[in-house]
Amino acid sequence: MQTALRRTFASLAVPNFRLYFIGQGISLCGTWMRMVALSWLVLTLTHSGTQLGLITAAQTLPILCLGIFGGVIVDRKDNKRLLVITQIVFGIVSLVLGLLVISHMIELWMVYVIAIISGFISIIDNPARQTFVVQMVGEDKLRNAVTLNSTVMNTARIVGPSIAAVLIATVGIGACFLVDAATFLAVLIVLFLMKRSELHPVEPSPRAPGQLRAGLRYAWSTPALRITLLMMVIIGTFAYEFPVVLPVFATGTLHGNATTYSLMTSAMGLGAVIGGLYSAGRAAATIRELIIVAGMFGISLCLVAAVPNIITALLVLIVVGALSVLFISIGNTTLQLTSTPQMRGRVMSLWSIAFLGTTPIGGPIIGAIIDHSNPRIGLLVGGLAALVAAVLGLFVSGFRLPSQRAIPKV
């Protein structure tokens, strides 16, 4: 039992990662509060699933258009310094949004502007955060650290929405954004407390022509990278549109309110914690495991689409959350361990594009499907997309379901 626990929490033995883990836990609670509050704010202003999808798309459109440039910057610069800058700017953006809401000056166009600004910050923040993990723990503990990072994010998915529901019901939506702004201080503090001498630094890539094209060629020519990114493009576009579909599913289909939506988000978070702890105790990341989990994720989404009531929905969403974090942790680990250190920023920026940057395409599509049919169809489309991704993974891998560790060095 003690051996299993040590294996599950191995990366927390690294002091720098332990600090980062604590800071992320605090900050991510604020992030989930912001996500719930933003969805509720847009529904309050517009009562439209399409607008909710468009706002979500606005946050990720910059990643879709310019995400690969963020990877080039991350490969050239010091990741820790980049993260300090992005956390400061994120905090300012949340503070401004909170002040606009509590002063009753907020209008829909302002939400769009703030969403787009957040998207531009994420162009650099996402690959910087992803690649900084391996610099803290080294390659041997990477899957464990990535999974624990996902676990703390999904623990925050339970805590954050619960706090958001209380704040929205008592003092209003604006308070969620103000609290989120304050939580970015936690990440800044731990970044300053870290010991640089205990990091595993990567020599920055010197500025040179053709680095963007080189990153794209590298990702496409490496089988494990190609399979993983293609699967995430499909799943990221249609299956990970929960901020669009769940609020409308909670209120329209299940006749609930903000508390119902928060409970559904928390159920997914609970499942993700369970899935994360399971994944953290496993050593290898394989394409076989990725394909199987994608298929199971698709089936679970189809089951959510068919649930008759909130109790059943919460139970199935626990399974959805577990499979969701398994897919992300396996895919993330495969990409980082397959990539050479000098290409890692560009590869992880492609992961961000596939995961988040596809939302400007999938968000409005799922929102429109919801508006013209119902949320069940939106969930069903996501489930079928995940099943298609699993079949595509099988096809690209030659229907072999390779069981070897998917980290060939190139």
On whether residue 314 sits in a domain, the answer given is: yes
Highest mean pLDDT of the ranges 183-192, 273-282, 358-367: 183-192
Helix residue spans in 103-207 (DSSP H): 108-137, 142-170, 174-193
CATH of the domain at 285: 1.20.1250.20
Evaluate if residue 409 carries a pLDDT over 70.
no
Q: What is the mean pLDDT of the chain?
A: 85
On whether residue 201 sits in a domain, the answer given is: no
pLDDT at residue 1, rounded to an integer:
54
Span 119-143, average pLDDT: 86
> How far lies 378's CA from each of 301, 382, 392, 407, in Å?
10, 7, 21, 35
On whether residue 147 sits in a domain, the answer given is: yes
On whether residue 406 sits in a domain, the answer given is: no
In one letter, which amino acid is 262?
Answer: S
pLDDT at residue 126, rounded to an integer:
87
Query: Tens of pLDDT along 313-338?
Result: 999 999 999 998 889 888 888 888 88
Contact (Cβ atoms closer than 8 angstroms) between residue 246 and residue 264: yes
Number of domains in the chain: 1
Query: Tens of pLDDT along 254-288?
Result: 888 877 887 888 888 788 878 877 776 665 667 88
Highest mean pLDDT of the ranges 74-78, 153-157, 207-211, 312-316: 312-316
pLDDT at residue 141, rounded to an integer:
79
On whether residue 265 sits in a domain, the answer given is: yes
pLDDT at residue 281, rounded to an integer:
63
Q: What angle, rounded to 10 degrees, do the helices at 344-352 and 108-137 form?
A: 140
Domain that holds residue 344: 8-192+211-396
Evaluate if residue 69 carries a pLDDT over 80.
yes
User: What is the C-alpha to C-alpha distance for residues 70 and 123, in angstroms, rounded to an integer?
Assistant: 5
On whether residue 203 sits in a domain, the answer given is: no
Query: Tens of pLDDT along 33-43?
Result: 998 899 889 88
On whether residue 71 sits in a domain, the answer given is: yes
On whether residue 160 sits in a domain, the answer given is: yes
| pTM, rounded to two decimals | 0.75
